[in-house]
Amino acid sequence: MWCYFRLVYMPMSYLYGKRFVALISPLILQLREELHTQPYNEINWKKVRHLCAKENLYFPHLLIQDLVWDSFTDPFLTRWPFNKLRKTALEITMKHIHYEDENSRYINIACVEKVLCMLACWVEDPYGDYFKKHLARLPDYIWIGEDGIKMQTSGSQLWDTSLGLEALLACKLTDKIGPTLLKGHDNLNKSQVRDNPSGDFRSMYRHICKGSWTFLDRDQGWQVSDCTAESLKCCLLLSVMPPEIVGGKIEPERLYDAINILLSLQVVKMVAYQPGSPQELPNGWRHVESTASAIDALVLFKKLHPGHWKQEIVNFIRKAAQYFENIQRPDGSWYGNWGICFTYATWFALRRLAAAGKTYHNCLIVCKAANFLLKLQPDDGDWGESYLSCLARKKKVTLSLCLVTPKFTPLEGNRSNLVQTAWTLMGLIHSGLAERDPTPLH
C-alpha cells in the first residue's frame, strides 16, 4: 500500500480497533452540530457508512467489498477467539506507528498522518514520551493567518528552494545575487538525508533514503524523487561556479548517493516516494513530473561525472524517454499529478525531453505536445486551465478496477492564468518551436 494511504489507515485502524471515544465536551457538541446535517444521535451509522458525495467517489466500492466490511469484520473480530487476532493486530499497528514517528522525528509524512499518529499515541498512553515528542513538533505545521490559526498540509521548503535557485541561476546574475546563492546552496547541503531509516526498514515497508532530499526538511526523512532530482540539479549547477561566491562543492560520494536513490525509484515509470511492481502502483502513483525531473538531473550528472554508473544512467534515460512516448495522450498532452494539469505535465515533459536531446526538429512526440499547447492558445495569446481537468474523468468500472480517462477543461469564460501561461511558454521554448515559428510565443 502506498505510503500516504498506509500512514493514514494505520492510526485510523488503531483508533477504531480500540473503540476510542473522546470525552464529550461542549466543543465536541458544537462541532457535531456544525458538521452534520441532522442531529448526531439520530444518525444511523451502519446505514451511512458507505455514503459518499459523488464528487469524491472516484472508485466505487464493489458489492463484495461492502459485504465483507459489513458482515465479517465487526461481528467476528469482536468475539472470541477472533478478538485475540485484533489484539495482536493492534500491537503490530502501534509498533509501525512508533517506527514512523521516530524515523520522521515526529513530523510524519503530512498533517493528517501527524495528528492521527499523535492521537493514537495519546490513546496508548496520554502521559507517555511518545505523545510528548509529538507535541514538540506541532509548530512545524501550525501557523497564524490573518483570519486565525491554521494547519498546513506539509511544508515545501526544499521543493521551493531548489526551484527558486534554478530560476535565479537561469537569470545569470551571479555577481548581483551571490549571497542568496550561497545561503541557498548551504541549505541544500545541510538538508540532504544522510542515513537510511533505522533497523530493518524494509520489514517496516520503508525504502532507502540516504542521499535524498525530502519535500520539507532533513528531519522528516521521507525521500521524494523529484525533490531529490531538482536539489541534485541545483548542487551540480552550483558545483561549477566559483566556491568563493556559492560555497564549497558537495562531496562526490553524497552526489552518488542521490543518484542511487533516483535509480532505485524507477519501476516502469518514476515514482514519487517508494518503488513497487507495476501491479502494485496505480497510474496516479507513477508520475510524468517525477520522471522528467530525474531525466534532467541525470543528464547533467552524466555530463559532469561521466565515469559513474554510466550505463545504468543511459538505460534509465532511455527507458524514461520511452515511457513518455508510451504514456502520451492521443492529443499530444500528458496528465499532471502535482499541478493543473495537462499544461503542467506537458511543460515538465518537454523540458526534460529537451535535456535528453529531443526537440521539435527530431522527435514526433515533441511535435505532438507542442501542437497540443498551440491549439489551446486563445485569441488574447495567454493560456488557462481549470482545476476541473483533474476531476473531469469518464469512468468505466470493472470487477477489479476503475478505469479513468482525463479530459482537458479550460477556465470558465476561456480566461487565462499567468502561471499556466508561463508553464506553456517554457514548454514551447524547450520544444525548439521558436526556431521554427516564434509567432505564438511573441
* DSSP string over 152-166: -S---HHHHHHHHHH
Angstrom distance (rounded) from CA 205 to CA 1: 9
How far from 412 is each of 74, 123, 199, CA to CA, in Å? 47, 48, 53
The residue among 99, 138, 103, 90 whose CA lies nearest residue 118 is 138
Q: Which residues, in sequence order, are bridge partners of residue 223? A: none
Q: Is 140 a catalytic residue?
A: no
Of residues 140, 217, 226, 296, which has the active-site annotation? 226
Q: Whose CA is closest to 273, among 314, 227, 321, 331?
A: 227
Closest Cα partner for 287 from 232, 224, 241, 355?
Answer: 224
Q: Give the alpha-carbon dihedral of 421, 226, 192, 355, to 10 degrees.
A: -80
CA 19 to chain centre: 32
The whole-angstrom separation of Cα 234 and Cα 239 is 8
DSSP annotation of 72: I
C-alpha to C-alpha distance for 130 and 108, rounded to whole angstroms: 13
The H-assigned helical ranges of 392-431 are 418-431
Q: Which uninterrupted H or E stretch holds 151? A: strand 148-151
Q: Name the DSSP class of 53.
A: -
Q: Which residue has the cell 485502524?
A: 13
Strand 142-145 with 393-397, pairing: unpaired
Nearest to 246 by CA among 180, 193, 297: 180
Contact 300, 233 (CB under 8 A): yes
Task: Compute how many other C-beta atoms are within 10 angstroms of the C-beta atom of residue 36.
Answer: 11
Q: Which residues are catalytic?
A: 226
